[in-house]
Amino acid sequence: MNEFLLEGFPPVVDPDAKVLILGSMPSEESLRRRQYYAHARNQFWDIMGELFGAGRDVPYTTRLQRLRTRRVALWDVVHQCIRAGSLDSSIESESVKANDFARMFDQCPGIAAMFFNGCKAEELFHRQVKPGLRDVLAGVDLIRLPSTSPAHATLSKQEKVACWMQVLDHLS
């Protein structure tokens, strides 16, 4: 299997964002289509449909706008890495270059909660980003949610939706 240096996407964010949802690194399908969570079996957009009316039935640009309107930002922890395939477990740890979160917090000082889409996003953030941002993160809630990836099938979609409802609690 070939390994390539992959580069993620820019954030989907407005300066008044209150919540930041973080994945690890876009899948092969997402990179190919240049869209967050593009894999047809990933439940992210299904869950966003339940929470914000930003489901797969809505054009991609409209979905992103609906998140921004609700003050939800979307990004990944990883800016660049080497990974064979799409699995988080295939990310070569020593190749990871994290996104610039100091700049994100400068541009969006109202972010009060960060939600990690699964364990790998949380792990990478705590290892690669958090040590350099301890002061900035002092008042920010850091919350891991169940992964929306098709590789994480231990919970039903409705169980995941119930967990992801926490995002709404941080927007009120």
Positions marked catalytic: 42
**Cα gap 61→65, rounded to integer Å:** 6
Q: How many residues would you count in the chain?
A: 172
Question: Alpha helix locations (H) across 100-146?
Answer: 101-107, 119-128
Please state the φ and ψ torsions of residue 86, each to the nearest 5 degrees: -115, -10
Helices (runs of H) and strands (runs of E) counted in the chain: 7, 7
Pair 25, 88: CB distance under 8 Å: yes
Placement of tokens 């002061």 in the chain: 135
> Which amino acid, one-letter code, is at 18?
K
